[in-house]
Amino acid sequence: MKLAYFVLDPLDFKRHHGKLLSIFSADMVEGLFSVLVQFYDSLYCCFIFPDFQLVPTLKEYSHLLGIPVSSRVPFSGLEEIPRSSIIAEALHLKKSEIEAHWVVDAFGAIFVLLIYGLALFPNIDGFVDVNAIRIFLIGNLVPTLLGDMYFSLHLRNSKGGGTIVCCIPLLYKWFISHLPQTPAFVENKQCLRWSQRLMSLTNDDRVWYDPSLSSLEIIDSCGEFSNVSLIGTQGGINYNPVLARRQLGFPLRDKLNNTLLEALEAYTLWVKKRDLELKMPYPCERPMSMVVVKPLTLPNQDVEELEDALVKMKQEKDMWEERFRALSKKHEEL
């Protein structure tokens, strides 16, 4: 967004509005997102790969945005349409408010509302719709963002295609945070397509847990129910944070024991069984961690030619050294 350049104090903006600016500064690698959505499992509301699953969570979205999940009741769609006076007051646009505040306050509020309407909760191109304004006024956007993402992916898969209407840059940033940072994966010297790179990943390749998440509160249930209900701008859906236990660091808190190992093994077998039921969107690939780059070998003929060239170069070197010594001796005699 070009308007971001007009933010006079980025640190102050971050204190009030989190990492909204950084979400849109990341360059999205072409082709990755269109491949990622093929791995979505509508039944369990997660991304499923050959032997593991990944689940976007409230905790991770909150961390990426730098905005906590508030105790306020999130967007439900039942809110009244905000009166113009309330909107004007929130944006510091009333005459009395403009006289009492710096003009930059009005710019910052309007700018954030534009981010809400055009990027976080897109609906009609070039317009900020009433739901984005409602969420802006409520001030608890993370649950709605996650709800939009799950609902949009679920709707797309159920229809066999269609446009994904959610904050795509945020979902993209979440996914790349779990990708390996090993040279083999990052450099991609084999020039593999994204489908091949993702299918080659195993349970051990993933970046599972970010230690900086440990200070955030985990929301992994809704009362007695293990699922968490989410309401987005387009509709409601449940998601299963219990599948994200490894992402949230739980298996790493205690020393591994036989019971836990058996549970992990059973879980992996269940995931593989689910893969067979769902059918992976791309062929299986050899795990990237097992790919060994073969040393370069040359045919015998090429080796012989190189040896001959080396001998010739040595002879030329000796000849030039002999000429140099002769000229030096002649120069001394003069």
pLDDT per residue as tens digits for the range 277-291? 888 888 888 776 545
Helix runs in the chain, H state only: 10-17, 20-23, 32-36, 58-65, 84-90, 95-100, 103-115, 130-138, 142-159, 168-176, 183-187, 194-199, 258-278, 300-333
Give me 252's structure tokens. 């790493």
Banded pLDDT at 260 (limits 50, 70, 90): very low
pTM comes to 0.74
State the Cα–Cα distance between residues 187 and 173, nearest whole angstrom.
19
Question: Over 80: is that where the pLDDT of 180 sits?
Answer: yes
State the Cα–Cα distance between residues 220 and 225, nearest whole angstrom.
9
Question: Over 70: is that where the pLDDT of 323 sits?
Answer: yes
Question: Over 80: is that where the pLDDT of 248 sits?
Answer: no
Output the DSSP codes for 197-241: HHHT--TTTS----GGGGGSPP---BTTBSSEEEE-SS-EEEE-G
CA atoms within 13 A of residue 23's CA, in its CB half-sphere: 24
State the Cα–Cα distance between residues 21 and 277, nearest whole angstrom.
41
Banded pLDDT at 199 (limits 50, 70, 90): very high
Which one, of 274, 44, 249, lies nearest residue 150 by Cα?
Answer: 44
User: Strands 40-41 and 52-54: what pairing?
Assistant: unpaired
Residue 252: what pLDDT?
A: 34
Angle between helices 142-159 and 168-176 (to 10 degrees): 90
Residue 113: what pLDDT?
A: 85
